[in-house]
Homo-oligomer: A and B are copies of this chain.
Amino acid sequence: MSTNLKQLAAALNLSTSTVSRALHDSHEISTETKIRVRALAEQMGYQANPYASSLRKQKSKTIALVIPEIDNNFFTHAINGIEEIAQKKAYHVLIYLTHEDLQKELAVAKHLQSGRVDGILMSVTSQTSNVEHLDKLHQQGIPLVFFDRVAETIDTAKITTNDYESGYQATQHLIEAECTKIAYLQVSETLSISQKRLSGFRTALQDNGITPLDDYMITCGHSATENFEMIKKLMSSSNPPDGIFASVEKLAVTTYYVCDALGIKIPEEVKIISFSNLATAPLLAPSLSTITQPAFEIGKKAAEVLFDIIEQKNLEDAKAVTILNSVLTERNSTKKPVISDRL
């Protein structure tokens, strides 16, 4: 058991209130006692019991981060940004993985009604369409910020990227590379970012007078092996696509595997563009054009906005939709990728 206020106070011949105030640098405590108190506190390794403080102050100095998966460079980089801001604010970060499972998201949401955290950063599951559980949190007044995968109907802050435009650009990129039979790979039909990317894709096709083929719309699941089979079927059909738009990094990778297995040459026989935050992609797969979301910045921004809401500063933030721009990087054999310290 670690030392508590009472013990410290006793050792100093002071009351707990004085000690507490001294440690909080209250102006109504003499410099002398402050020094005395702090010296002993330091020496005894005193750390205030966070649960007692939280109970008393009704503030936990903790935020929750709820994401669908962690084995994904977008989220990994976002966490870096979030953690940077949280650390600066001396907040703690509880991490919850929903594994793209709505049931888990429901459980987490329910739990978070307890007041365990002062705010929530969230990217929803690909299954999430009904958002009652999230609305309830919001109604309850818990600061809530969505990033990337947002619940559109909930009237709170959202940080996203320009998914429609990126989807359009990516498609345009393939068209300019002379693809005419372009397949679209996605993992969800309900996520708003999926819809926006897809919408950009569709409009770009339309603007170029290309009619989308139903057979070229592939909605994958979360099993790598099943996805492999779905894409394999696509690529080995009698009329295979000559361009692939992977709306998610992992599907681009799976496509690579499929092409490798079928002996299809990339980019000679099929060109690929993908949303991706894989830092190594440009070099390791020089034929992969990518759309990179500014994940680190999104994380930072999301955390900043959340803290604004928590601290009731910049109140307009509470309902703002912030859109950061993704970067399209075109790959070919002449352009060399550049190494950098941060994505």
State the A residues within 8 Å of B (CB): 1-2, 45, 47-52, 54-55, 60, 62, 65, 70-71, 73, 76-77, 79-80, 83, 87, 92-97, 104, 110-111, 113-116, 136, 140, 223-225, 228, 253-254, 256-257, 260-261, 278-281, 283-285, 336-337, 339-341
B47 and A113 within 8 A (CB): yes
Enumerate 11 A-B pairs (CB-CB under 8 Å) in ascending A order: A1-B115, A45-B110, A51-B60, A92-B116, A93-B94, A93-B95, A93-B96, A225-B340, A256-B280, A256-B284, A257-B337
A48 and B114 within 8 A (CB): yes
A54 to chain B, nearest CB (A): 4
A213 to chain B, nearest CB (A): 26
Report copies per complex.
2
Contacts of A336 in B (CB 8 A): 260-261
Query: A51 CA to B117 CA in the complex, in Å?
Result: 10
Contacts of A257 in B (CB 8 A): 283, 337, 339
B94 and A94 within 8 A (CB): yes
B45, B76, B280: the one within 8 Å of A284 (CB): B280
Contacts of A285 in B (CB 8 A): 284
Contacts of A76 in B (CB 8 A): 70-71, 76
A46 to chain B, nearest CB (A): 9
A341 and B55 within 8 A (CB): no
B2 and A45 within 8 A (CB): no
B2 and A115 within 8 A (CB): yes
Which partner residue on chain B sits nearest A256 by CB separation?
B283
Contacts of A104 in B (CB 8 A): 87
Which A-B residue pairs are the 5 nearest by beta carbons? Answer: A47-B114, A284-B284, A51-B54, A51-B55, A284-B285
Query: A62 CA to B55 CA in the complex, in Å?
Result: 16
Query: A21 CA to B110 CA in the complex, in Å?
Result: 21
A240 to chain B, nearest CB (A): 19
A336 to chain B, nearest CB (A): 7
A62 to chain B, nearest CB (A): 8
Query: A136 CA to B113 CA in the complex, in Å?
Result: 35
Contacts of A115 in B (CB 8 A): 1-2, 47, 49-51
